[in-house]
C-alpha cells in the first residue's frame, strides 16, 4: 500500500489524515505512450509542455500531469499573481512566450478599462511591488488558451487532479510513471521517452531515485559566504505561504472571520505584524533595517501599504466592472516557517499544511481585528475574504506558494558567489557558456525555523546554465522548474516567475531536441556543436541567453546578436548591459 496526500483536500480544521489515503494499484490501469511527459503543471511545467509541443514534429505527443485542478502554479493556483520580476522586464529579460502571456493578460484588462486601453504597460492593480498584477483566474484562462491548439489536435494531453505515485527505472532511465487521479482513484501509467520534473516539491527526483539536495548546505560544500558554517541543515527550507485574497468593502462593513484555531500561538510566534526587516535596495526600498508599514497608508520610508503591495485590482480603473479593490495577501505574517514538508511522510505533510492554513487564516483574522489603524484604532473589518477567487472552501490558494523544493544534483550547481553583486563587480553575473536563459532578482531567502538565517542581497543579471537542468546520472530526466541545481542560497533568486518559466521552456525545448538528435541531455551539454545547435533553437524561439537589454526578442537582430554573445564573439561591456557598448572579439 502507498499513502498519497491530496493537498487540495487539506482543511484548516478537523483531522488532517482525511487528506491522506492508502492505495494499491489494482484493476484497470490506463496505459499512455508519449514522447515527453511533464510531471507538474505549474509555471515551469506548463511552459515546458508548451515548448515541447512547439518543438516536436506534428506527430509528437506530450502529456502533462497536474495534481490540482488548475495549471499555472505560482501564477494561478498558488496566488502569486503579482509578478516578481526585474527593472528591465518591459523590454528585455523574458522569453517571447512569457511576454505573450503577459500581453494576453494585459489585453484582457485593456478591454475592461478605457484608462488601461491607452497604456502601453498597464498594471490593473497599480501595486507597488510589480509592474503587472492580475486575478489568478485570468492567467489560468490565458494559459488554457495558449495550450488549446495543441490540446485540440491531440499533441498535448493535460491530466488534472493526477499525481505521480511511483516511477519505474532501468539502467539510469525512467521507463514509466504511475499516477493516480485524486478524485476518481483511477490509475494511469505513462511510458515516455523523456521526462521533465516540474513538480512543486521536486517529487519525481525522489521517486526516480535521482540525486538531489534538500535544505541548507555548508560553506565547506559550496564555498558560499551565507551557507551554514558547520553542518548541513536539511530542515532549513524556505518558508511557504498560503495566500488569500481580500476586497475592501468600505467603511462600516464588518467581515472579520471567526477566530481560527491556535490564533494566539501564531499571533505571538509569527508574529503577526506590519513590521518587517529589509535590506536596502532589493525589494522594499532603499532603507535597511526594520520598517513599519501601514495597512492602507504609505508609512515613512516605505513604498506603500500592505493593501497596495500586491493589489490585483484598483477598482477606480474599472468603474463599470469592479466595485471594490481586490488585493492578494502574501506577506511575512502568513509565511509558514515552523517545518519543512520535503521528504516527509504524507500525514506529516498534511499536518504541516494544516498548520500553514491556520497561520494564514490567523493573519487574516488579525488584519480584521487587531492590525493598527492610522486613527489609533485596531482592526480592518471592512476587508472581506474572496473565496471565489480560488474557488476553495477556506478562500486560501489551492496549493501553497512553495519557494524551495528538492533541488537536483546537476552537472552544474549555481552558487551565491557566481551571482551576488558583492562578488561580481561587473554589469553581469558570472557567464555560463551553456546558457539556456536569463533571470534577475535579489537573493531573497524567507527564513524557516529558528536556526535558519534569512538572506537578502543584491545580484547581477544572471544566466540559467544548461548543466543545472541535467542530473548527474539519470539520462532521460530533466529539471523544469524550481528544482534545477541551485543551492539553498541561490534558490532565492532562481525561484521567480520569469526564471521558472524560462527554466521550463528550456527543459521542454531540450526534451524535444534530444529526441530529434538521438542524443541525451548530458551529450548535448558536453558536445560543443550540439550545444550551439540547441542554443540556436532556443534563440529562434525567442529565448534570450545573454544580457543585452537594447536588443529585445522582437528585434530582427536578436538571434544573431544573442548567438554571437553566448559564443564569445561579442563581449559585453563590464559597465553596461547594452549591446551598443559591447565589443567584437
Q: Is residue 136 part of a domain?
A: no
Q: Is residue 582 part of a domain?
A: yes
Q: How many domains does the chain have?
A: 1
Task: State the pLDDT confidence band at 289, using cuts at 50, 70 and 90.
Answer: confident
Task: State the pLDDT confidence band at 475, using cuts at 50, 70 and 90.
Answer: very high
State pTM to two decimals: 0.98
Whether 287 shows a pLDDT value over 80: the answer reads no
**If you average pLDDT over residues 1-5, what whole number do you get?**
95
Q: Is residue 558 part of a domain?
A: yes
**If you average pLDDT over residues 513-527, what whole number do you get?**
99
Q: Is residue 562 part of a domain?
A: yes
Q: What is the pLDDT of residues 33-89, one digit of tens each?
A: 999 999 999 999 999 999 999 999 999 999 999 999 999 999 999 999 999 999 999
Whether 333 shows a pLDDT value over 80: the answer reads yes
With the C-alpha atoms ordered 8, 10, 11, 12, is the resulting torsion angle positive or negative?
Answer: negative
The pLDDT assigned to 423 comes to 97
With cell 481586490, the residue in question is 326
Specify whether the backbone of 15 is left (phi greater than 0), alpha (psi in -120 to 50) or beta.
Answer: beta
Q: Is residue 584 part of a domain?
A: yes
Tell me how far apart the alpha carbons of residues 297 and 374 are, in angstroms, rounded to a whole number.
Answer: 8
Tell me how far apart the alpha carbons of residues 287 and 414 are, in angstroms, rounded to a whole number.
Answer: 29
Alpha-carbon distance values, 573 to 423, 430, 461 (Å): 17, 13, 13
Q: Is residue 572 part of a domain?
A: yes
Q: Is residue 55 part of a domain?
A: no
Please tell me the least confidently modeled range out of 451-460, 497-506, 529-538, 573-582. 451-460
The pLDDT assigned to 525 comes to 99
Mean pLDDT, the chain, integer: 96
**If you average pLDDT over residues 365-384, what whole number do you get?**
96
Task: State the pLDDT confidence band at 25, using cuts at 50, 70 and 90.
Answer: confident
Tell me how crowded residue 71 is: count the other CB atoms within 10 A of its CB. Answer: 25
The pLDDT assigned to 455 comes to 80
Task: State the pLDDT confidence band at 284, using cuts at 50, 70 and 90.
Answer: low
The pLDDT assigned to 253 comes to 82
Tell me how far apart the alpha carbons of residues 70 and 161 are, in angstroms, rounded to a whole number.
Answer: 9
Percent of the chain with pLDDT over 70: 98
Q: Which domain holds residue 578?
A: 551-585
Higher-confidence residue: 370 or 26?
370
Q: What is the pLDDT of residues 118-144, one digit of tens each?
A: 999 999 999 999 999 999 999 999 999
Residue 372 grid cell: 493598527
Whether 283 shows a pLDDT value over 70: the answer reads no
Percent of the chain with pLDDT over 90: 93
Q: Is residue 569 part of a domain?
A: yes
Amino acid at each position: 500500500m502507498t499513502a498519497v496526500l491530496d493537498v487540495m483536500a487539506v482543511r484548516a480544521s478537523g483531522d488532517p489524515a482525511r487528506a491522506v489515503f492508502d492505495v494499491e494499484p489494482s484493476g484497470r490501469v490506463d496505459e499512455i505512450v508519449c514522447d515527453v511527459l511533464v510531471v507538474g503543471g505549474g509555471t515551469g511545467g506548463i511552459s515546458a509542455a508548451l515548448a515541447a509541443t512547439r518543438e516536436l514534429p506534428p506527430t509528437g505527443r506530450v502529456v502533462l500531469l497536474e495534481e490540482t485542478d488548475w495549471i499555472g502554479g505560482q501564477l494561478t493556483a498558488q496566488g502569486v499573481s503579482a509578478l516578481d520580476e526585474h527593472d528591465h522586464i518591459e523590454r528585455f529579460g523574458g522569453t517571447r512566450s512569457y511576454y505573450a502571456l503577459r500581453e494576453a493578460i494585459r489585453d484582457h484588462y485593456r478591454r475592461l478599462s478605457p484608462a488601461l486601453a491607452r497604456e502601453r504597460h498597464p498594471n490593473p492593480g497599480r501595486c507597488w511591488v510589480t509592474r503587472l498584477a492580475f486575478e489568478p483566474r485570468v492567467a489560468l484562462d490565458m494559459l488554457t488558451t495558449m495550450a488549446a491548439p495543441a490540446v485540440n489536435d491531440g499533441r498535448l494531453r493535460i491530466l488534472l487532479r493526477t499525481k505521480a505515485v511511483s516511477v519505474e527505472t532501468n539502467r539510469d532511465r525512467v521507463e514509466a510513471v504511475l499516477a493516480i487521479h485524486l478524485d476518481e482513484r483511477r490509475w494511469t501509467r505513462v511510458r515516455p521517452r523523456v521526462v521533465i520534473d516540474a513538480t512543486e516539491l521536486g517529487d519525481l527526483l525522489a521517486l526516480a531515485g535521482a540525486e538531489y539536495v534538500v535544505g541548507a548546505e555548508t560553506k565547506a560544500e559550496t564555498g558560499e559566504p551565507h551557507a551554514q558554517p558547520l553542518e548541513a541543515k536539511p530542515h532549513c527550507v524556505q518558508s511557504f505561504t498560503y495566500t488569500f485574497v481580500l476586497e475592501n468593502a468600505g467603511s462600516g462593513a464588518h467581515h472579520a472571520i471567526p477566530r481560527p484555531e491556535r490564533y494566539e500561538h501564531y499571533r505571538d510566534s509569527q508574529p503577526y505584524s506590519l513590521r518587517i526587516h529589509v535590506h536596502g535596495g532589493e525589494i522594499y526600498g532603499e532603507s535597511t533595517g526594520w520598517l513599519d508599514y501601514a495597512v492602507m497608508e504609505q508609512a515613512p520610508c516605505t513604498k506603500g501599504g500592505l493593501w497596495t503591495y500586491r493589489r490585483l485590482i484598483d477598482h477606480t480603473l474599472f468603474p463599470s466592472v469592479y466595485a471594490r479593490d481586490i488585493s492578494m495577501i502574501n506577506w511575512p505574517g502568513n509565511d509558514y516557517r515552523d517545518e519543512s514538508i520535503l521528504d516527509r511522510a504524507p500525514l506529516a505533510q498534511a499536518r504541516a499544511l494544516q498548520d500553514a492554513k491556520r497561520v494564514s487564516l490567523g493573519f487574516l483574522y488579525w488584519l480584521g481585528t487587531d492590525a493598527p489603524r492610522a486613527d489609533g484604532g485596531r482592526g480592518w473589518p471592512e476587508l472581506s475574504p474572496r473565496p471565489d477567487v480560488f474557488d476553495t472552501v477556506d478562500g486560501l490558494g489551492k496549493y501553497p506558494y512553495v519557494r524551495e523544493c528538492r533541488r537536483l544534483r546537476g552537472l552544474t550547481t549555481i552558487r551565491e558567489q557566481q551571482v551576488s553583486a558583492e562578488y561580481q563587480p561587473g554589469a553581469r553575473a558570472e557567464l555560463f557558456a551553456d546558457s539556456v536563459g536569463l533571470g534577475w532578482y535579489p537573493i531573497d531567502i524567507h527564513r524557516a525555523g529558528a536556526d535558519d538565517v534569512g538572506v537578502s542581497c543584491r545580484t547581477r543579471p544572471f544566466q540559467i546554465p544548461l548543466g543545472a537542468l541535467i542530473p548527474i546520472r539519470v539520462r532521460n530526466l530533466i529539471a523544469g522548474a524550481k528544482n534545477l541545481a541551485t543551492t539553498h542560497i541561490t534558490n532565492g533568486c532562481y525561484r521567480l516567475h520569469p526564471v521558472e518559466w524560462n527554466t521550463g521552456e528550456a527543459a521542454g525545448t531540450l526534451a524535444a531536441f534530444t529526441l530529434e538528435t538521438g542524443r541525451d541531455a548530458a551529450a548535448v551539454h558536453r558536445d560543443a556543436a550540439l550545444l550551439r545547435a540547441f542554443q540556436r533553437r532556443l534563440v529562434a524561439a525567442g529565448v534570450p541567453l545573454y544580457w543585452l537589454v537594447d536588443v529585445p526578442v522582437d528585434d530582427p537582430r536578436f538571434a544573431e546578436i544573442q548567438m554571437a554573445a553566448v559564443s564569445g564573439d561579442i563581449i559585453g561591456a563590464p559597465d553596461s548591459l547594452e549591446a551598443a557598448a559591447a565589443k567584437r572579439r
